[in-house]
Structure 1
Amino acid sequence: MSLLEVNDLKVYFPIRGGILRRVQEHVKAVDGVSLSIEAGQTYGLVGESGSGKTTTGRAIIGLNEITSGDVIFNGNNIAKSGRKSFLDARRDIQMIFQDPYSSLNPKKRVVDIVAEPLRNFEKLSAKEERRKVQELMDFVGLSPEAILKYPHEFSGGQRQRIGIARAIALKPKLIIADEPVSALDVSVQAQVLNFMQDIQKELNLTYLFISHDLGIIRHVCDKIGIMYKGRYVEEGTTEDIFENPQHIYTKRLISAIPDINPRQREVLIENRRKVKEQFDGLSKDYFDDEGLAYPLKPISETHQVALPERG
């Protein structure tokens, strides 16, 4: 059984207008997304800005209201049982946010930031809480004596480690990592990613890894879902996506991955140009009249692609 199963998830945001501010239409931020993640797996959710990937992650953890659909976590449909189910699940589902500069309250000391989930779910004495926070700081590679400092006294990579310490404080089963390294210097990104992989094995964590960067996704994920305008265009194993991409949008994203070899720069630019021309020319074959992806269809046991019905 999957640790997390999402079925036909929809998140619509109302657009209001007129004097009475009535709902006139909806923005379909997430429009029928389904996915499943096995325990211990890293699932990558990929798409450009506005694709709906972050909204999907926030809906799973209860930070965005779900319009319809199922979120089945550890066998329980937390989307059908009211707000309390999401709150109860928060012990086992935690989130690492994109920006370590804004996700940590600048007015709070590290001890209060890391202890926040502990205070919500456990009743510890002040001494026990302090000891627990110090252990967490040591675990993520930071000085236990730094718990009385404020976030601005740490580097970006160190702040993200503080965010990780907060996320693992309750020993969750699933962590939703929303662009966890995009705000960091390139030199620091690899350190944080490698650390996340190390603790995944040690703590038996499952990741939903949200990113626009397919290069990073390829490095850390077992399975990948590609989103475009609130819908999936392709889903498969990492090998499926990178060795046998089928959707034109997936091919466009892959063509945009930087090549560090300067000798390949001209080839890369030419390939990107060709893929863009192909995307523009073949879009009508891959998207409906509204520019939205068709339903996914299996092309193998592990690979699904959004393709139209062929007459």
Structure 2
Amino acid sequence: MSTVLRSIRAAYCTQAVVDWLALEIETARPTQFQWLQRTLADHFGDGKRTYIDSIDADASGATTRFLVRLNDDHCRTVDTVRAALAALDQRHTLVGPALVKLLEVSLDFYPKDDQARAYLPLLVARLQTSLEAAGGTSHRLVGPTKRAEHLDSTDTPDPRRTLYINNKLDPLAWRVYYKITDRDQTLPRDQHRARVEFTLQGVGLHQYGINTVDDLAALDFGDFGHLLHFRQFKPLPDLIANMKPELAQLVQHATRRDRNMISLYPFGLHAYRRYNTGKHAGKPRNGGHPELRKHSTHTTADAELNQLVRNRLHDLTQFFTQNWNEK
């Protein structure tokens, strides 16, 4: 397994996209969401529905404030978004700037051949177990037929199910999964892929200076690189180098029995506590205070995955802000 997964660059095409963008808009006169929906349907002309929620609507369903959810086809670039807002403004007269309420960014791994396609579940497993997701909580597996199952530090994620980290309304949340459907429709086989994504909303957006659509035009997606940071265990010789002989022997024995053990380990589930060396050094019983580390000293950055993340986020910045010509 490890031989295949170490050659991600050779086996998979990778792409980062803005998958969802939610905007709050205000119209000059009260109206119903269906009229805005029809305007965008005419504008995009692709038969794909735009989801629009009314905010504080009256008994007739009319209001001046709406939440417009644009999918990846309708928010490919900042100019695509601006054109959609211009279409709404022409028919309904918008008041003030459109406010960004949610931004979802996805990184996709498309197999280049049948062999890579066969190993997609193993790639999903690698992504699920090695995503650092610093500060993440509420790790759980959802679907396809089983109810949500919360993970503890002894569980291994299941690549056939979606791994969720944090909750739907949190400022930051992650998902890792094997994508074979889109909007409840089965995708063609050549569109099956491994996907890892993060969603920002509320203060999660504000800390990156994202408030309006104009802020998106100046956005450097590379600033999100740490949100898609991956780790892996150190090579076995380095891993056991400073261990007591008995423990090193146990680790060697375990890896001989199960060669997947080192790669199938949920790093993001653990808060590693070590005792500091400052003024309050020592264990709690001696008056010391433990410090919380993001990751175990037995791990190291996954250089291949992290470089792919940096490259694709750089490409997304160039494409989304139209610093190269849209293909």
**Fold similarity call, TM over 0.5:** no
| TM-score normalised by structure 2 residue count | 0.23
| TM-score normalised by structure 1 residue count | 0.24
